[in-house]
Chains A and B, each alone.
Chain A
């Protein structure tokens, strides 16, 4: 794929002035290939290993079938706990995100001394993955769904605040200017100028984050933060792959159902 592609981009547009670009692209591909070689030496991951690893994967999949259907009633309650963790985590994260999003938006005349630190905090929060938050909160608050919920609160806060403040910055400035002209104070501007325009976006992002969080909540249990992941970890530890497969199947069904519902609501919102 690499070598034929290297000369391809932009060729139809300007065939005469290509040479300097071409060498640059070639250099880019060469750098990539060099990086790849260094990487595969570093991790000892080679295409050969990839090919020899695949049959082992196949035998694992064979052990997973048929799934242990009798295990379904046992995993139903933890699965619901997973959904509850995701709902609460997303909602609290979303609520936390509202003030920070308002303070970060550049078109609401917030002092730079406030908006820049807010954005920096958001950027910092978003660098930390959900599972890391969960691992830390499990250490602080002990094993259980509360740690998982807190992890999702921080995780969703970062996503929702970032997306929402960008949506606020993109709103139509007309109503804001009109309200400023007639002497509205800042709270009034936010209530009647910003909220009606930004709320559908906020709701849509909230639902999107909920979709992400359901997937995240399903694996939080692997680090002890409640939900279905704990049982998955146990089933895998005991080599009960038939149980692991029913857990994974149920997770997939729940994720798909929630994705479907959330997509419908989001389409109605926007």
Chain B
């Protein structure tokens, strides 16, 4: 409902008949959309036991299963979190390297013809629209369940996102050094090495770290579909309703994400 109040007055502040009609039309449209969505939601599917389940979940969260933090035989919290961290590091690095040629392909100032950079941009956005989880499922089917599928899924999805950010960085560089180098007879490779790369590398690193922060969140969920990491023990614990274990895993995820955000923020500040 809220959309209407902003969209219309900003466009036409004078309350002419036309703008009022427009406003009414938008109100009706938004109302119809909401009516349609509420209607489609089946509330009868809610379990009657929701109250008791919530209480036992709360109990589980208040008494996390500390013994799960470290188990001698493996498959414990620390190893799960380590796998998650490793998957996101590898996925980010793979993407950060693989997307560089894509980024140069998609930058409008790196090629004379618009068709070249345009096609690069389209390729990147097609890669980008696939959600990581779907990519992960496809890779699980292709290479089997495990961390490897997770790394590939994060890598592929991040290429689309990072490629876009990288190409925007390349498009915004200062042309001065490049022209100076060309004028003094440098070849294309030398221009790239001494004029383009020094300007873009810090920004590339910063974006990669930012992507890493997103990837570690995704990596925690990859295991839910079988692509390795902490999500696998989590989905098992959820299936057998072992809430104490779910509690400790969630706690571990939160601590891991806060820590990595903090470290990545610190490194990013030092780079730029």
Q: Which residues of A approach B to under 8 Å, CB–CB?
A: 1, 4-5, 8-12, 32, 35-36, 38-40, 42-45, 49-50, 53, 56-57, 59-60, 80-81, 83-85, 87-88, 91, 94, 123-124, 127-132, 135-136, 139-146, 149, 199-200, 203, 206, 215-216, 218-219, 222-223, 232, 236, 241, 248, 251-252, 255-256, 265, 268-269
Contact = CB atoms under 8 A, between A and B. Distances in A.
B152 interface: yes
For the residues of B in contact with A, the DSSP-based class is helix
- The 10 tightest CB contacts between A and B, nearest first, are A144-B45, A142-B47, A43-B147, A131-B221, A84-B37, A84-B40, A127-B257, A219-B133, A87-B37, A56-B142
Given A88-B37, A135-B238, A268 B11 contact: yes
26 contacts: A9-B198, A10-B198, A39-B90, A42-B83, A43-B83, A43-B151, A49-B143, A53-B139, A60-B138, A83-B37, A127-B254, A129-B218, A132-B221, A135-B234, A136-B246, A140-B53, A145-B42, A146-B42, A149-B41, A200-B6, A203-B6, A203-B7, A218-B131, A248-B134, A251-B134, A265-B3
Contact of B40 (A60, A80, A143, A222): A80
A215 B19 CA distance: 34
B259 to A, nearest CB: 10
Nearest to B228: A43
A60 B143 CA distance: 10
A265 B3 CA distance: 10
A10 to B, nearest CB: 7
B131 A132 contact: no
Given A8-B197, A215-B131, A49 B46 contact: no
Given A53-B148, A268-B7, A9 B201 contact: yes
A140 B129 contact: no
A219 B250 contact: no
B38 A88 contact: yes
Nearest to A85: B41
Contacts of A248: 130, 134
B191 interface: no
B139 to A, nearest CB: 7
Interface residues of B, number: 74
B6 A87 contact: no
B268 interface: no
B141 A60 contact: yes
Contacts of B197: 4-5, 8
Interface in B223-272: 224-225, 228, 231, 234-235, 238, 241, 246, 250, 253-254, 257-258
Contacts of A4: 193, 197
Contacts of B228: 43
A144 B47 CA distance: 10
Nearest to B36: A84
B33 A87 contact: yes
A87 B2 CA distance: 13
A131 B129 contact: no
B78 interface: no
Contacts of A216: 131
Contacts of A200: 6, 10
A35 B88 CA distance: 12
Interface string B88-126: 011001100100100000000000000000000000000
